[in-house]
Amino acid sequence: MSSFVFMKLLETRASRYDVGMRMISWGRIGSLYQQVAEGVPKGCEVLDVGCGTGGLTAALLDRGCSVTGVDRSESMLAVATEKLRAPIGEGRLRLRHLGIVQLSRELAEGSFDAVVSCLVFSELSRTEQRYAIEEFHRLVRPGGVVIVADEVAPESKAARLAYRAGRAPLAALTYLVTQTSTRPVNGIEDEMAGNGFEDVAATLIGGRAFQVTSGRRPACRLTPQQ
């Protein structure tokens, strides 16, 4: 089931977004948020790209992290602000109205211990996905972790055909509503490895409907003196 189509439909009804995401993920969205959050060291400084209404953001805050959440939707950020007033008041959360293309001019290199992004890459073209991975590598500190989670298509031919058949009506509806085609996200682990990340790993969860991909920016290494 495509998360993208429902995210687009729900974006104009941001107050219903959380309920809708639980429905379309068959209740798995909380587990996805938790898995991503658990991949981040406790108490670190995190950038949550495409934070939406703050579902993953809240899981990161529960781990004692300091979070900067960015999203291109002002209505989503308004809901997140209402839900997370306490950590905002405590200075542990900062929300900003930014899209991925604005990160390069708004955020300095090596600003975060971790960068996470959940259910965002399915909205991006392959070129935009590559740009995002490059930007995440720039923003995370040496030794820091990047985690990307999104919908994926099955690997086997038979399962892929069944997936496409079940997904076709949603893809058609998405095009009618947004004039945008949708696609699952595959190959993020290859993009991360190709951009210099170490310890790249991909884990399927939620009945193999979602993939959590992680990688680490290489730590600075001292050059031995001659």
**Nearest one of 215, 158, 148 to 186, comparing CA atoms:** 148
| pLDDT surpassing 80 at residue 90 | yes
| Confidence (pLDDT) at 3 | 55
| pLDDT surpassing 60 at residue 22 | no
Nearby residues of 117 by Cβ (< 8 Å), 6 or more positions away: 48, 49, 50, 132, 136, 147, 148, 149
| pLDDT surpassing 80 at residue 176 | no
| Confidence (pLDDT) at 119 | 87
For residue 149, list its beta bridge partners: 118, 212
- Mean pLDDT over residues 109-138, rounded? 94
| Confidence (pLDDT) at 151 | 82
Cβ atoms 17, 3 nearer than 8 A: no
| Confidence (pLDDT) at 20 | 56
pLDDT in tens, 24-72: 555 567 889 999 999 999 999 999 999 989 999 999 999 999 999 999 9
CATH topology assigned to domain 3-153+183-216: Rossmann fold (3.40.50)
**Who wins on pLDDT, 112 or 173?**
112
CA dihedral 28, 73, 114, 221 (to 10 degrees): 140
User: Could you tell me the two tokens for 114?
Assistant: 């971790």
| Confidence (pLDDT) at 190 | 94
Looking at this protein, which amino acid is placed at residue 115?
Answer: V
Backbone region of residue 176 per phi and psi (left: phi > 0; alpha: psi in -120 to 50; beta: other values):
alpha
Cβ atoms 196, 218 nearer than 8 A: yes
| pLDDT surpassing 60 at residue 13 | no
Domain ranges of the chain: 3-153+183-216
| Confidence (pLDDT) at 155 | 59
pLDDT tier at 174 (50, 70, 90 boundaries)? very low
| Confidence (pLDDT) at 1 | 46
